[in-house]
């Protein structure tokens, strides 16, 4: 490979890296919503893999059945985080043209998966 070709490849890699960093910053501002229990528990997660808010309908709060409420919260949180990861992966796929680039891994790695 010639030095010119290698130089061009390095420039493209740097450009892609900058675009990915920008995309990750933008993803932090995007949110996704998921719910469980027929909408009784709603969770909003950011593209950065953080839970932004949780809304629990008063009707689902039963001191006699805390386990059900905990299960609904966990289910809604997991779904929101899964959807956020999927959203970021779709954005990344647009950037990379669907190519799996060695060393980048799945963007889901941002979410500890």
- Residue 4's φ and ψ, nearest 5 degrees, are -65, -45
Compute the chain's Rg from CA coordinates: 19
Confidence band, pLDDT 50/70/90 cuts, at residue 21: confident
Structure confidence by residue, pLDDT tens digits, 35-89: 999 999 999 999 989 999 999 999 999 999 999 999 999 999 999 999 999 988 8
Going along the chain, which residue ranges are E strands? 31-36, 41-46, 51-56
pLDDT tens digits, one per residue of 88-113: 888 888 777 766 555 554 444 444 44
What does pTM read for this prediction? 0.72
Number of other CB atoms surrounding residue 26 within 10 Å: 12
Which domains can be identified in the chain, with CATH numbers?
Answer: 30-111 (3.30.1310.10)
């Amino acid at each position: 490979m010639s030095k010119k070709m290698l130089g061009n490849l390095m420039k493209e890699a740097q450009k892609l890296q900058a675009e990915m960093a920008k995309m990750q910053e933008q993803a932090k501002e995007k949110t996704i919503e998921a719910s469980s229990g027929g909408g009784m528990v709603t969770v909003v997660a950011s593209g950065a893999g953080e839970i932004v808010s949780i809304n629990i309908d008063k009707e689902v709060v039963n001191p006699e059945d805390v386990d059900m409420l905990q299960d609904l919260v966990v289910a809604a949180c997991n779904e929101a985080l899964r959807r956020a990861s999927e959203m970021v992966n779709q954005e990344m796929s647009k950037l990379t043209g669907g190519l799996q680039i060695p060393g980048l891994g799945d963007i889901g790695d941002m979410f500890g998966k």
